A and B are shown apart, each in its own frame.
Chain A
Amino acid sequence: MKADKKKRKRKNRWKGAAAVILTAYTAITMLSTFVIPNHTITMAEAQQSLSAQNEENSVSAQSSSESASTASKSDSTAAASDGSTSESTDAEAVITENSYTSDDLKITITEKTVDNTEVYIADIQTDDPSLLMAGLADDTFGRNVSETTSSIAESCGAILAINGDYYGFRDTGYVMRNGYLYRDTASDDADQEDLVIYDDGTMDIVKESDVTAEELEENRAIQIYSFGPGLVEDGEIAVDASDEVGKAMTSNPRTAIGMISEGHYVMVVSDGRTSESEGLTLEQLAGVMQDLGCTEAYNLDGGGSSTMYFNGEVVNNPTTNGNKISERKVSDIVYIAES
């Protein structure tokens, strides 16, 4: 009788300890995955280290006279273009409810209905591809560091912005922003496709299993987004209904970016998950991008993250937590600014 009691006690003690440990472990895992921010490096620090690296490179280049003259020329060109850009922005930008026009930049926002879905299209034409930039929440790279698209856009002084790839929700996948390589760990998914934007403004879609982040950096990449998939490649639709696995396979709010030609881009956001706007499948979104004339187009983070910001206002109706219309916090944005 006594032995039975003792045994039952011991059994309950094990059960209790296992339950407490598993509950605590689950709580820690969930919090670290979804809630606790882990700041790694600020954008300012990243840019500082990037310019220090560039300085080092230019010093070593100066040892050969030929390289030195090239470097000084490009420096003076950059300085000159910086000055002229800010001047022209202040002096000549014409802003309306759905357009922005300056010497270097023309943005037009249009809205149309496709497959029972409201689609917002930003057409961007610029001579200066460096106006297409990336912003991070809290100006910091790290896991679970997030802000709304409009809030990041405001702090960056953006004219136009869309949500990015929500890199901070994952531990793998290349992340390069404004020339700085924040993460060079390839995704476990061999089919992971990335969008690469080079310093001349051209876009390309690559597979992480085919190329390292360092190789892309050497090839003068300045932005790498790791979400996908690629929607249009060389003018052809690159997804079909059967490809829509993993991140989303049904009608949803979507965000995409594409290139029509050098200096001519489109950013597209669709509403979804509401009675007014059903949402698009990836195949439908690819069709929209192809119809716009994109040679390359890429799917960014969608769902509740899908947000377009223009001239201080959120243009679309982002859905967070089901059907509630409000902006979700995201890790990063793609934006256009003149400064």
Chain B
Amino acid sequence: MMIVYFLISALCLLFSRIYGVFSHGVRSPYMTFLCLFPLLVGAVPHLLLSVKKFLPLPKQLSVNLYNTGAASLTLSSAMRGIFEIAGTGSVFQIWLMIAGAAFCVSGVFVYIIQSGSAAKRTACSGDQGKEVHYEKKGETQPMV
């Protein structure tokens, strides 16, 4: 997933540069820094999860919510850039940005809840190996 986010960041960078060529000198920060959304919201958290092995891996629901949020934010930023360069705006774009942020926050929230309850279960059983077994059952989502 991390590699996918890096690829999307590269595509966004390419898109914003090409769009810049045809925008007659008009700039928008949302278009210029478009690649930062998939990079900072997507790739960096996934990189942290893969590096910090002590962090529990997120479950499917949390991943789905977070990825949907990251996609919405990236799309919303691209739209905002296009609109600002054209000299217009849309309330639909603002709603998409709000929805994207809400999805990301809820993804993180679900992750925290699920990690908490998994840690509790591990502590109750007193078996540190339980978590590993839990993962093996396929209830967690590998990120990389």
Binding site for B on A (CB under 8 A): 3-4, 7, 10-11, 14-15, 18, 22, 25-26, 28-30, 32-34, 166, 169-172, 188, 245-252, 273, 303, 322
| B76 vs chain A, min Cβ distance (A) | 9
Bitwise interface map of B from 104 to 136 toward A, beta carbon under 8 Å scored 1, else 0: 000000000000000000000000000000000
| B114 vs chain A, min Cβ distance (A) | 15
Which of B26, B86, B93, B96 has the most chain A CB atoms inside 10 A of its CB?
Answer: B26
A7-B60, A7-B138, A249-B26 known, 19 other contacts, Cβ within 8 Å: A4-B138, A26-B79, A29-B92, A29-B96, A30-B79, A33-B88, A33-B89, A34-B86, A166-B87, A169-B88, A171-B89, A246-B26, A248-B24, A249-B25, A249-B27, A250-B24, A250-B25, A251-B25, A252-B25
B91 contacts across to A, CB distance below 8 A: 171
Q: Are the C-beta atoms of A29 and B87 separated by less than 8 Å?
A: no
B43 contacts the other chain (CB 8 A):
no
Interface of A is mostly: helix
Query: How many angstroms between the C-alpha atoms of A322 and B23 in the bound complex?
Result: 10
Size bracket, chain B contacts = 20 to 34
B83 contacts across to A, CB distance below 8 A: 33
Binding site for A on B (CB under 8 A): 22, 24-27, 60, 64, 67-68, 71-72, 75, 79, 83-84, 86-93, 96, 137-138
| B109 vs chain A, min Cβ distance (A) | 17
A34 contacts across to B, CB distance below 8 A: 86, 88
- Chain B residue at minimal CB-CB distance from A247: B87
Query: How many angstroms between the C-alpha atoms of A245 and B44 in the bound complex?
Result: 32
Query: How many angstroms between the C-alpha atoms of A34 and B88 in the bound complex?
Result: 9
Query: How many angstroms between the C-alpha atoms of A166 and B86 in the bound complex?
Result: 11
Contacts A169-B86, A247-B26, A249-B26 given; does A18 touch B79 at CB 8 Å: no
| A329 vs chain B, min Cβ distance (A) | 14
